[in-house]
Amino acid sequence: MGQLFTQLKKDETNVFSQTFKLKFSDCVGVDWITLGRWLNIEDNYLDIINQDNSRSDEKAYSMLTKWVQMNDNPTVDELKIALKKMNRMDLIRKVDEFTKTSSLPEIFFGFSANKDSLNTPDIASRVHVNKDISESYTALKNYYQKYYGKINELQPLLKTPANVDLIQKFVDLCIVDAHNAQMDVVCSVERKKFLEKQMSYTPIPYSEIFMNEKSVILISGIAGIGKTWLLRKCLLDWSNNLIWNNVELVFYLECRRLNQYQNVSNINELLNVFYKDILNDFDISKHTTLFIIDGLDEFKYLNELLNPNLSCTFPIVNALAEIQSYKHVVAGRVYAIDKYQNIYTEHIDKLTIQIMGFNQDGVENYVENHVIEEKKEVVKATFKESLIAKVMATVPFYLSSMCKIISDSSKIYTTSFLTMTELYANIFLYFLQKHIIKNNGLVYEMMANENNKKYVLTICRIAFELFIENKFIFSKEEFLLFINNFNEVDESLFGFIERVETHLGYFYQFAHLTVMEFCASVYAYNCLSFEEIIANKKLKSCLSMICGLSNKNQNILLKFLVNLNPSKKSKEESSLLVSIL
């Protein structure tokens, strides 16, 4: 299998590997958009790529990735033909050069699916390390400093680069002691408790977390709250000798990536997959090592991990369990960490904390630095008018979304975010209008179009089908079970659904779990009877949003998401609400 990912063969799809695309992107420069047109990529995709990336090499990389996605078996010859039409013989020579020298092994790190988090160093800059600990130690720190010094700030659904400097501009998070926090596994309860407790906790300063080094740190928080920001801040601080000075090696692993390697059975094998060129068969057991595990709730085999007595046929569970014998930091949604901490009942050297979002200074600084001057007062007034808006502004995803919506709207009412359901609806319709329909007109005009209604119902149906099956990362084959034309997923659903490239092939996921949950609620409201909704236990976490959709106020945007299926009788609404309450 190793040869499959390290060899580049002429005129085969795998020639367009991570290494090839990175090197070629550096050469294309500002001509990336011309090349994209010669490769028959539509202008709307090129526009999105242009908006979502700041540098020419990033744009070229995204364009090449999109071209590979659009073609089942793209070849080098097709690329050369396009370059010949551009009269770029110099780039053709570069293609030949890269394909001839590409037998060098390709380094791969398991940080994230997108290019910004998977910034693999080019061949010339790679550090080939022998088995000396000091070189491995230095190589890891250099890598984290180079590729995590700046990360992309999340915008509503689309991940628009903002080059946030985590060292200089890390936004203070509200961190609290969560040792005794017991949360219901239901997501709606998680949100309810968050709203109740967010303003009552006593924050723990970031620096205090590391004053007394613990062998185990468990970090919980709702979706989009800033857990990954905190983990990457830790990586940078370790790299700059600010924390964990007694730790020789730190490794960062994302659970959604681990899901793709279910046959990896131990730590050494796992690290040889993700850190092969850094470690070079290094024996970590002889050195002080710390693992950072991100996204525990996304681990497909969490139940097996929590119940070692169960018969488990997936070796990756054993590999992740082995990490417990090392120092480690584990982060995930509240319900997952609440369950996971039970395996440490007798472990005294443990710290359990919960991320409650930005603190007040963080919110104010964000508004000051990210909102245009004429809209700052509107944002502040919105937070005063709506308790929901004020509390959810501490969550980075929602704060970014609300500021973006208010900044881009010609007219916005300070009462637009009075409930969580209204907040979700505003985010959903904003993204639909700006990035899918690409219409700067009025929302009521957009939703009067039957094709747009059909589109919304389609994306909501996909979310519903996957949500009730508890699938957050899914394959093409799983899509084909309920959608006839798979091209719809890759083309018209771009943005709501992301395509993730892994060594095992392509997988798909919703851009944000909260949006997936909201879409599932919209579909249930529009297409299921109240008996079906109440009977489906998987929809329990959606009940608050489904109730919210029954709001009859004609002055809010919710009204455009509740009439997508005319065949459903409206008289059921009152019965549904009574049954849920």
The pLDDT tens digits for 520-566 are 999 999 999 888 898 998 898 888 889 889 887 887 889 999 989 87
What's the rounded Cα separation, in Å, for the pair 496 and 489?
9
pLDDT above 70: percentage of residues in the chain: 73
Query: Most confidently modeled of 145-154, 171-180, 319-328, 397-406?
Result: 319-328
In contact, 470 and 538? CB cutoff 8 Å = yes
Number of other CB atoms surrounding residue 529 within 10 Å: 14
Picking from 260, 325, 318, the residue whose alpha carbon sits closest to that of residue 291 is 325
What's the rounded Cα separation, in Å, for the pair 343 and 37?
55
Residues 6+ apart with CB under 8 A from 376: 367, 368
* pLDDT band, residue 340 (cuts 50/70/90): very high
* Per-residue pLDDT at 218: 94
Task: Enter the tokens of residue 164.
Answer: 């946030």
Summarize the confidence of residues 136-146 as an average pLDDT: 86
| Rg for the chain, CA atoms, rounded | 24
In contact, 361 and 172? CB cutoff 8 Å = yes
Residues 6+ apart with CB under 8 A from 55: none
pTM: 0.56
User: If you count DSSP H runs as helices and E runs as strands, how many of each does the chain have, helices first?
Assistant: 29, 10
Beta strand extents in 440-548 (DSSP E only):
497-502, 505-510
What's the rounded Cα separation, in Å, for the pair 139 and 278?
7
What's the rounded Cα separation, in Å, for the pair 76 and 83?
11
Residue scoring higher pLDDT (285 or 246) = 246
* Per-residue pLDDT at 322: 93
pLDDT at 274 > cutoff 90: no
pLDDT at 221 > cutoff 50: yes
* pLDDT band, residue 291 (cuts 50/70/90): very high
pLDDT at 253 > cutoff 70: yes
Q: What is the pLDDT of residues 52-68, one digit of tens each?
A: 776 777 888 888 888 88
Residues 6+ apart with CB under 8 A from 162: 152, 153, 155
* pLDDT band, residue 162 (cuts 50/70/90): very low
What's the rounded Cα separation, in Å, for the pair 255 and 402?
29
Q: What is the pLDDT of residues 79-130, one digit of tens each?
A: 988 888 887 887 888 888 877 654 433 333 222 333 333 333 332 333 333 3
* pLDDT band, residue 173 (cuts 50/70/90): low
Strands 289-294 and 249-254 come out as parallel
What's the rounded Cα separation, in Å, for the pair 221 and 526?
31
Rounded to 5°, the CA angle 55-59-63 comes to 170
Ordered alpha helix ranges (H), 171-292: 187-197, 227-239, 255-258, 267-274, 276-279
* Per-residue pLDDT at 178: 61
Strands 497-502 and 505-510 come out as antiparallel
In contact, 466 and 517? CB cutoff 8 Å = no
Beta strand extents in 410-518 (DSSP E only):
497-502, 505-510
| Mean pLDDT over the full length of the chain | 76
* Per-residue pLDDT at 123: 29
- Spell 186-196 as b/e; 16+ CB within 10 A means b: bbbbbbebbee
Q: What is the pLDDT of residues 374-433, one digit of tens each?
A: 899 999 999 988 888 888 888 877 888 898 888 887 765 556 788 889 999 998 998 888
Q: What is the pLDDT of residues 8-47, one digit of tens each?
A: 333 334 467 777 888 888 888 778 888 988 898 887 778 7
What's the rounded Cα separation, in Å, for the pair 187 and 184?
8
Task: Enter the tokens of residue 503.
Answer: 């060594």
CA distances, 323 to each of 153, 217, 221, 238, 309 (Å): 30, 13, 22, 19, 18
* pLDDT band, residue 163 (cuts 50/70/90): very low
Q: What is the pLDDT of residues 304-318, one digit of tens each?
A: 999 887 777 789 999
Task: Enter the tokens of residue 415.
Answer: 């009462």
pLDDT above 90: percentage of residues in the chain: 15
In contact, 50 and 59? CB cutoff 8 Å = yes
In contact, 246 and 257? CB cutoff 8 Å = no
* pLDDT band, residue 508 (cuts 50/70/90): confident
In contact, 503 and 563? CB cutoff 8 Å = no
> In the 8-state DSSP scheme, what is residue 494?
B
Residues β-bridged to residue 331? 219
C-alpha of 117 from chain center: 10
Query: Most confidently modeled of 130-139, 248-257, 473-482, 543-552?
Result: 248-257
What's the rounded Cα separation, in Å, for the pair 254 and 252?
7
* Per-residue pLDDT at 104: 35
* Per-residue pLDDT at 396: 79
Residues 6+ apart with CB under 8 A from 267: 284, 319, 322, 323, 326
Q: What is the pLDDT of residues 204-218, one digit of tens each?
A: 778 888 777 889 999
